[in-house]
Structures are given as C-alpha cells and as structure tokens.
Amino acid sequence: MKIKTLLLGSAAALLVTGGAQAADLSIAESVEYVRVCDAFGVGYWYIPGTDTCIKIGGFVQFDLKFQSAGWEFDDGTNTHSSHWKFVTEAGVNFTAKSMTEYGALVGYVAFKGVADPNGDDDVRLDEAYLSLGHVLFGYTGSVQNTPGGFAPGAYVPDVKTNQIRLSWAAAGFGLHLGIEDPRKRWGTELDDVYSMPDIVGAVTIAQGHWDAKVTAGWQSDLAVGGVYGIAGAVTAGMDPFKIRVGGAFGTGNTFVGDGLSGKGGAFANGNSMWTAFISGIWQAAPTMSVAGTFSYSADTTAAVNGTAGGAKLVWSPVAGFEAYAEGKAWKFTGQTAHNWEAKVGVKRSW
C-alpha cells in the first residue's frame, strides 16, 4: 500500500512539473533564425532583424618563391637575403547589399595581410567602397585598369585608388566615368603641378564568346599641359581555349602599369611608353589549366625597351582549392641578363 501511494505521488509531481514547463514554453520569445538571401546571388544571408544581405569571403595562400638577384630588393643593394623565400598571404572581405528605390545599396570592405621574410609583414585595407545605384565612392580598382594575361608577364595598368565613379550597364554594354586621386599611381606625395584629380573612363562589351574593355585617362600637369593614356584588351573563345590581346599607351609614363610591381610606369626616364601583349589559356582537363603570356614594352624614344613572358599551371581538384606553379622573365635595354621570378603555391578561397 505504501508503495502504491508513493508511485501515485510521484506521478502527480511529474504532471505538475510538466505542466509548469509547458506554460514556460508557451510564453518564451520566438527565435529569429538566419535566412538565406537569394536576391544577390549565392552566399548571401540576411542580417537578423534587417533587410540587408551580407556575404563573407576570403582566402589563404602560401607560396615558395624563387627569384634572380635583381628583383624584390631587400635593402636597396640589388641583392636578396636569399634566392628563395616562403610567403603567406591571407585576406577577408565583407559585402553588404540591400535594395532601395534608387537601386542597390552596397558596402564592401576587404583586408589583406602578408608574412614576408623581406620585412613586408603588414595587415592593410585592401579595398573599401560604398555605392548606391550608379554611383560609387571609395578605394578600389581604377576605372582605367584593363585585364592582363592569364599568366604573369603582361604590362598593363593595375592600380587601386580613391575615386568617385558613375557606371551604367545594359544588354552587355557598360559605360564607366570617374575622377581619381593620382597619388596611388605615383606615391604618397604629389607635385603641385597636378592641379586636379585624374579623369578616367571606360567602355565594356560582353557578347557571346567574346568581351572587351577600352579605357582612357587624362591627368593634369601644368608643366606640360596634361598627360593622357589609353588601354584596351579583348578576350575571345570558349572552353577549352581562350585568347586575350591587349595593350596600352601613356604620355609621361602616366597610365601604363609595368605588370610586375603593379604600379606607375615601367620606366623612370619620363618618356611616353607603349606596351602590347598576347595571352592564352587551355583548360587541359576539368581540374587543370595551362596559360602563357608574352609582352613587349618600349618608350617612344626607343632608348629603353624590353620583353617579358610567363607561364602558369593550375590544378584545382576541388572547389575553392588550387595548387599552381608559375614563372616570369623579363629583360630591358642595358641589362646583361634576364631577370626572373618563379613560385609554387597553394590557395584556399571561400
């Protein structure tokens, strides 16, 4: 009898406890789960409680580099601490987008860090801009940049700078106009003969199996009345073969990048210069590609000219990962030997 009474009492206690827990659950606040945002493509999700979509990306890259003694000087003596080095790079980026009555409102920021034994260790702002509809403000790639080769060795403009940009695109055609701070082309100081920002523009076309970009830029220089540059590149073909040809011309070295350091003009003699390149890529297998590039550059006096070339092999067995080997070599007037650089590495992107 005592056992029966104990069991009945325990059952009653459980019923009371369960009822209390059920009452607590009925008044608990609802949980707002993260939702996928498919309005802007893959990888976006809604920030809880807002109509803003965010995407996070990044990469980690490790390289074993080899080089000749005339490149990437460690102390200005034209020598290396060694002909090889390990370099690790990493980056992370954030994109926030939402739709408004004026078009997409976008904010983008990217940070990049490098661990380089030549003393170049740093973490820096790599890009940052905001845009609303057709207008962009911030620090990102110049309107005047054009696509380079599929492998290293093409001498083309490749500059990031602070800018204001207007862009329109429809039916595969695009028009881009901008004003840019010239300091990132020349360094942190700017001579007072440059009285205003660079004025740049570009036209882009993408039709079927080919696309193209043509750019022009003008820079104020009160000493000579202004300097200008034009550049362009055309890509044609479809897998497994694609080919790209391009080039650039600039007065005073202004708008022609050297393709190796990624800034300024290739030569320091102040003359106008031009460059042209051809590059191709072959998708040899679903997981492997082979690319090559050849270019020629010269100033208009023919006092300094040079050739450059490069090749790249990429193996990508899974999405977001690649292993590669690449090399480039170049030689200018007056040099007794070719400079060269090569590397093997792995990269994980997401």
Residues 182 and 251 in one domain: yes
Residue 2 domain flag: no
Q: Which domain holds residue 40?
A: 28-133
d(CA 329, CA 335): 13
- Are 124 and 145 within one domain? no
d(CA 128, CA 121): 21
| Residues in a beta bridge with 300 | none
What are the distances in angstroms from CA 247 to CA 8, 149, 151, 214, 282? 91, 11, 15, 10, 22
Could you tell me if 129 and 231 lie in one domain? no
For residues 261 and 347, state if they share a domain.
yes
The kind and range of the H/E element at 310 are strand 305-315
What was the pLDDT predicted at 267?
40
Beta-carbon count within 10 A of 54 CB? 19
Domain C-terminal end among 102, 133, 164: 133
Residues 150 and 113 occupy one common structural domain: no
Q: Please indicate, yes or no, if residue 11 is contained in any of the structural domains.
A: no
* Domain end (from 100, 133, 166): 133
| 165 and 99 both lie in a single domain | no
Question: Residue 176 has which token pair?
Answer: 């881009």
Residue 19: inside a domain, yes or no? no
Do 145 and 129 have their domain in common? no
Tens of pLDDT along the chain (350 residues) come to 444 454 445 544 444 445 445 445 555 555 567 899 999 999 999 999 899 999 999 999 999 999 876 444 444 555 555 788 899 999 999 999 999 999 999 999 999 999 987 766 789 999 999 999 999 999 999 998 999 899 998 877 778 999 999 999 999 999 999 999 887 776 556 666 667 888 999 999 999 899 999 999 988 866 667 788 899 999 999 889 999 999 988 886 567 754 443 333 434 345 678 889 999 999 999 999 999 999 988 876 666 688 889 999 999 999 999 999 999 998 877 666 678 899 999 999 99
Domain assignment of residue 220, yes or no: yes
Residues with Cβ < 8 Å from 165, sequence gap 6 or more? 135, 136, 137, 143, 176, 177, 178
What distance in Å separates the CA atoms of residue 320 and residue 291, rounded to the nearest whole number? 19
Domain termination site, one of 106, 133, 160: 133
Q: Does residue 147 sit within a domain?
A: yes
Same domain membership, residue 182 and residue 251: yes
Q: Residue 301: exposed, middle, or buried by beta-carbon count in 10 A (0-12, 13-18, 19+)?
A: exposed
pLDDT of res. 258: 47
Split into its structural domains, the chain has a count of: 2
Q: Are residues 118 and 166 in the same domain?
A: no
Domain with residue 261: its CATH number is 2.40.160.10
Is residue 259 in some structural domain? yes
Question: What string of H, E and C letters represents the secondary structure of 50-96?
Answer: CCCEEEEEEEEEEEEEEECCCCCCCCCCCCCCCCEEEEEEEEEEEEE
58 with 154, same domain: the answer is no
Is residue 186 located within the same domain as residue 263? yes
Residue 172 lies in a domain: yes
Asked if the structure places residue 4 within a domain, the reply is no
Indicate if 234 and 254 belong to the same structural domain: yes
